[in-house]
Structure 1
Amino acid sequence: MNDAPSITRRGVLAGAAGIATGSLAGCSERLWSRAENSGPEQVELTIKTLPTEDDEIAAMIMSQFRENLRRAGIAVSHEPVNEADLYRSVLLEGNYDVFIARHPGLDEYDALRGLLHSQFANERGWQNPFHFTDVTVDDHLERQRTTRGTERREVLGDLFEYLGETPPYTTVGFPNRIGGVHDAIDASVPPRRPLDYVDLLSREPDDDSREGPLTVGIYGSGLGERLNPIVVDRNRVPGLLGLLYDPLARRRETRLTNAADGYVPWVADAITWTESDSLEATVTLRDGLTWHDETAFDADDVAFTYRFLQDTSMGEVEGGVPAPRYRDRQTLVETVEAVDDGTVRFAFSDTTRSAAARVFAVPILPQHVWEPRSAIVAEHQPEALVTDNVEAMGSGLFQLHAVTDEGIELEPFADHVLRDETTDRPDVLEGFSQFDGLTYQIEPNPGSMIESLRNGDIDITGSPVPPSELEGIRSGEETSVLTGRTNAFYMIGFNSSQHPDLGNPNFRRILARLIDREHAVREFFGGHGEPATEFSSLLGVRNEEWTFDDRAAASIFPGSDGKIDADRVHALFEDVGYRYEDGSLLG
């Protein structure tokens, strides 16, 4: 890790030196005396997570991790915060020591660049929320973006192994998505992504005379709020915004892909790639596209969206105000221009097709709605970043009908070009749709959601089901458990800039070992998942994607059954320069 001051900081320090010399001359003895008498203090950390009722698994990971830190001699406090506050303090304000949360998962290896590159160390959102800076990591992240095939895998493999020695965060494990379904509904996996819903809605229920919407159970508070698709703390209902807002292309699979064909064209009719001196793509839009308010959807809306994400102030703020969501993808685009009403041309920075294809999964915004939102309002932010967008209006297969405390009702957007069966549409839409709309029924907690499923009030669960609630589904007369893999993972994140010990890579490396991953998956995930045990999986890339000669040391737990061997851990800290006094780790 590069701990040297930046050039700017060096300049500030040099400039201040002369002033400091004079001002300290008369009190140097007092300062030396204070330094001699102030001994090291016990290392203290605060861990932030969602409360148990919002994320049971994160709370259990926190409990084990906290107890192990205490056994290691660290003073630890826990601060449970609701999801909006967690996003705000961690992803927007950087106000935390350690956080434990479920990351939605990486969609392409290049997503690591957004998580870790020092370019994003002072930005907001999932762009480097650890404030981590390392020139070696930056170099690897740049190289993987421009190399292909075996060479790219080698660069990424080297990156994974290097970060095993200086982890800015560590992955505990990859939970399977667990849900429940009424037996009359034909479902293969719990719905999470828009394409999961498309597949589900394309399957005919057992009772072919059924009328009305598909009813999906979700739980939590404030779920009908924050329908803004470009902010970090956006709506928490899985798949909802993706059903209201269309992208140019949708990601086809949940696993990480290393090819541009991992995406299926959506409002794009075709995407043509050109590689000469640089990478370009020409996107041809489908004919007959419209917004939910019946305004024509054209290439100007597409070009506007990408410019707007780069600067939501539209030039009103010096330096721009980029949208915190999709920020790392924005850096792939050099220029975007509307050639005519139905054609858009993209020019990319030096990158590969598979990385560049990520930009096509961004939700397209109606220019006539969002351009006025570039006006600067509260706290010098554009309206676009503070609005809840409660009357969300996009171009998706569904449009917003009603939002209440009891539920969210979506009705079919009849004029959507992909609802026309005579259109040459993606294979995934074959049979779409067997239901008249879609309704999310809001419950206060997982238990009440399962009860509604057993009573036949909902068809399927949309929020993740905690392992502790599985028996309620299994014991139902007409309900079954659904499971499916995702790229999501539980991470422990470290703030490298706010806490002096967390700025020490040796300290972080030992901290990363103080969670028993196999035990967590077995006990907290209920066995429905996979522990992170390799260099790659410790960064959120599943184990089977990569092979290494040795197991990552950071994944080797110094203890058993979730409990550390205190003597072993004390020795680990002492080996890197820490010392103990009466069992307390001194920093």
Structure 2
Amino acid sequence: MADVAPSVTRRGLLAAVGVGTSALAGCSERLWSQAETTGSDQVSLRIKAVPADDDYFAATIASQLRENYAAAGIDATHEPVAKAELYRDILLEGDYDVFVARHPGLDEYDALYELLHSRFVSEPGWQNPFHVSDVTSDDYLEIQREADESDRQDVLVDLIEHLLRTTPYTAVTFPYAVSGVTESFSLPTPPRRPHEYLELLSYSENEPRDGPLEVGVFGEHLTERLNPITVDRNRISGLLGLVYDPLVRQIGDEYVPWLAEDVEWTTEGRVQARVTLREGVEWHDGESLDAEDVAFTLDFIGDTSMGEVDGGVPAPRYRGRQTLLGGTDVIDSRTIELSFPAASQMAARRLLTIPVLPAHIWADRSEVIADRQTRALTTNNEDPVGSGLFAFSEATTDVEVELEPFDGHVLRETTDRPAVLENFSQFEGLTFRIAPNPGAMGDALVDGDTDVTASELPPGTARDIRTAATASTVTGTTNSFYMVGYNSRQDELGNPNFRQLCSRLIDREHAVREFFEGFAQTATTPAALVGISESMAFDSDLEDRFESDPLSFPGTDGELNTSRVQSLFEDIGYRYEDGLLLE
């Protein structure tokens, strides 16, 4: 792409000018408003997060943030909200000012597109939950989709610099995954994602067992909704990814053919992928899985009403990846061609990781039942039918979920299987045992009722497991991160300068040291502050282009320097009265 570099330079210049202009405009409007207004109210913000019993770390960050906002003169309230309600408030209804939550993590740079692009401003899910519309961000996000590797890195650097100035959200930490494990059991890595469960089930250090792998999790209503395309309920991490297979699984940096036997890429001109399915692929109910199911899934994610609603009713999950697609062409029952008119192969391959849905079940769920709601988005999907190595057996409300081996899966029959399945499987099935809270989950492990825990361990529970004679903990890295998100539709938070200052009011190093007890990576580099983990980080020469410590904490050891903070807010046009920050 010979025209990318000049375009990036031009857009970078426009971004710098645009941010400066918007910042000056924001200050001018605020000064004019103050001159015309006889009285002002104190700036007020609501911070939503789940209760400590659901996520100790999110609740603790939110509590600290409230204290720091209050010290800065903001009328701040911390509202603990049940997880299902929080997801609904943030991802579906936009009912929040500020939220603290654990983002599942960016799997590839293009994940920033769905998180931020203005085309998703009115769509549900993790697609732009901040309701931010920014032409400069959109330009960078679109260019990176098409750019080759070297040019793409330059574009991403410019994008990150812009995001650090406009700050629609900010990352705080990348927590380590910590699992408890019984003394007699070996654990290669804490299981969270489907391929990590598969690796554990294949791990040769453990003796084969006639019974299932017993996994401890905690939470409420974890069995209520087994719908793979919704986001508004609790779910057991990784479970549905074991039931519903994709064409290709992302395992680390590799994209491993799964339902697909082969993917042939054409990159001259328009990027295209010719996907050939493995022979004999079946759904759990015995129906054949074919290329029509693949085409249906990709269309359905884009519009679950199947054309019945103008503008469509997209699914809240996988929508960002689906927008990579230009069109599909079913060649025969095992072959489908996919076109990507505005994406490079690097970005386009993410589309292949979308789990495939059975058309014979989901097509009947396209009925429109309410305003921008289809049956597909409201069904609990109580008896999920997928194509994974494990089939759903039964779920007992808030007690357990049983998955049984799917003997008809082609990867159980062939010797030509992905490396992660080399010794698959050492167990007969997989059972998730549900505890009401972390302490009960830890007790079940120590008592030998489960083999391993898969929900995140708060520090107290982790210490109890480590000191037990019958169990220990295993730690691994993850791309997930705790984020502070801002609703740009809220009056003050519509000002990027205000959002940027709010993002500085949390001492990230103090949080890792005191809240996570060291079991997390601090988000301090520019890339990390927008959610890009170390495993995805740029080359060191590109990192050197960023301003150092761009969102530095104005204080020491978690304590704000209030006079410094007041000066920073006054510099962007705000004023104080008796220590209160005024609108």
TM-score w.r.t. length of structure 2:
0.91
| 1:25-424 correspondence runs (5 A) | 38-204=38-204, 206-208=206-208, 210-253=209-252, 257=253, 262-405=254-397, 406-420=399-413, 422-424=414-416
CA drift of 1:302 comes to 0.7
Distance between the aligned counterparts of 1:379 and 1:506, measured in 2?
Answer: 36
CA contact (8 A) 2:161 2:546 kept: no
For residues 221-261 of structure 1, what are the alpha-carbon distances to aligned partners after superposition, in whole Å with 9 as ceiling and x for unaligned? 111121000112255201100111010010111xxx5xxxx
Secondary structure of the residue that 1:189 maps to in structure 2?
coil
Structure 1 range deviating more: 160-169 or 362-371: 160-169
SS of residue paired to 1:482: strand
Deviations 1:97-131 (A, max 9, x none): 00000000001101101111111112111111111
Residues 216 and 441 of structure 1 are in contact (CA less than 8 Å); yes or no, is this contact kept in structure 2?
yes
AA partner of residue 210 (structure 2): E
For 2:342 and 2:307, the matched residues in 1 are separated by 26
Once the two structures are superposed, residues 539-560 of structure 1 have per-residue CA deviations (whole angstroms, 9 ceiling, x without a partner) of: 0012571323455554311111
- Local SS of the residue matching 2:166: coil
Pair 228,206 (structure 1): closer, same or farther in 2 beyond 3 Å: closer
Cα distance change, pair 444–305 in 1 and its aligned pair in 2 (3 A): same
Instruction: Give the structure 2 partner of residue 528 of structure 1.
Output: 519
Gaps of 5+ in 2: 1-14, 20-34
Contact 2:554 2:561 in 1 (8 A): yes
Measured in 1, the distance between the counterparts of 2:36 and 2:135 equals 35
Aligned residue runs from structure 1 range 548-587, under 5 A? 548-549=544-545, 551-587=547-583
Structure 2 partner of 1:23: none
Which residue of structure 1 lines up, in the alignment, with residue 12 of structure 2? none
Structure 1: 5+ residue runs without aligned partners?
4-34
**How far does residue 204 in structure 1 lie from its aligned partner after superposition?**
4.0
Rounded Cα–Cα distance in structure 2 between residues aligned with 1:338 and 1:505 = 46
Distance, in Å, in 2 between the alignment partners of 1:232 and 1:222 is: 14
Amino acid at match of 1:353: Q
- Aligned amino acid, residue 219 of structure 1: F
- Kindly provide the amino acid, as one letter, of the partner of residue 397 in structure 1: L
Task: Kindly report the root-mean-square deviation, in angstroms, between the aligned alpha carbons of the 2 structures.
Answer: 1.7
CA distance in 2 between counterparts of 1:327 and 1:385 reads: 13
**Shift in alpha-carbon separation, 1:36–1:137, aligned structure 2, 3 A:** closer
* C-alpha separation in 2, matches of 1:174 and 1:552: 19
Please tell me the residue identity of whatever aligns with 2:279: D
Distance 2:192 2:293 in 1: 27
Q: Is the CA contact (8 Å cut-off) linking 1:496 and 1:502 kept in structure 2?
A: yes
Q: 1:433 aligns with which of 405, 425, 429?
A: 425
Q: Which amino acid aligns with 1:473?
A: I
Per-residue CA deviations over 1:481-513 (Å, capped at 9, x if unaligned) read: 11111100000001111x111011111111110
How many residues align? The count is 547
Deviation at 1:445? 0.6
Whether the 8 Å CA contact 1:64–1:515 is kept in 2: the answer is yes
Preserved CA contact (<8 Å) 2:313 2:372: no
When the two structures are superposed, what TM-score results if normalisation uses the length of structure 1? Answer: 0.91
2:494 to 503, 516, 519: 503
Determine whether 1:459 maps to 2:458: no
Distance in 2 of aligned mates of 1:543 and 1:204? 29
Task: Tell me the amino acid that sits aligned with residue 516 of structure 1.
Answer: D
1:512 has 2:503 as partner? yes
Stretches (4+) displaced over 6 A = none
Q: Which moved more, 1:183-192 or 1:93-102?
A: 183-192
Instruction: Give the match for residue 31 of structure 1.
Output: none
Larger radius of gyration: 1
Task: Quote the Cα distance in structure 1 between the aligned partners of 2:152 and 2:513.
Answer: 34
Distance in 1 of aligned mates of 2:344 and 2:282: 32
3-state SS of the aligned residue for 1:291?
coil
State the identity %: 53
Distance (Å, rounded) in 1 between the aligned partners of 2:234 and 2:425: 25
